Homo-oligomer: A and B are copies of this chain.
Amino acid sequence: MTPEKQQERVRSSFAKQGLMTTLGATLSSVSPGMVEIALSPHPAISQQHGFVHAGAVTAIADSAAGYAALTLMPADTGVLTTEFKITLLAPAAGERILARGRVVKAGRTLTLAQAEVFANTGGQEKLIALLTATLMAVEGRDGISD
């Protein structure tokens, strides 16, 4: 697949994720092995202290890692997250939350990807979370193709 087709595949799949729309997340960048997803803090995605909920931070981080993996997979292959770990370093507060996923090692069956999550305030970026995920390439299973 060309980078353009890969990008199109990620964009089309992302648009089908109801949760991303619900959270207000947007796909801000797609390139081979790297995907960025952004989120604007608002009350509908908050936790009890007013920060962005770890669940929302995790959702964009996991998606960024998963789509980064998908950009390096063959056509007609879907991607599933088998597991991930996230370390939360600071409250998710700021004007914009940005998850940057990148592939660490792409394998035939399993891919290791990481996502760093940054909080942006007044042009300053602060690392607020680090996710490590194992992604599995699946072929023609349950109609999964992205």
Contacts and interface: CB of A to CB of B under 8 A. Distances in A.
5 contacts: A16-B48, A19-B44, A54-B62, A85-B85, A87-B112
Nearest to A132: B132
Main SS of chain A's interface residues?
mixed
Given A83-B134, A91-B142, A104-B130, 11 more contacts: A16-B47, A17-B46, A18-B53, A22-B44, A54-B59, A54-B81, A55-B56, A56-B59, A80-B88, A82-B134, A109-B109
Contact of A85 (B83, B88, B110): B83
A105 interface: yes
A13 interface: yes
A6 to B, nearest CB: 15
Contact of A83 (B53, B83, B109): B83
B18 A49 contact: no
Interface of A: 13-14, 16-23, 42-49, 53-56, 58-60, 62-63, 78, 80-89, 91, 104-105, 107, 109-110, 112, 127, 130, 132, 134, 136, 142-144, 146
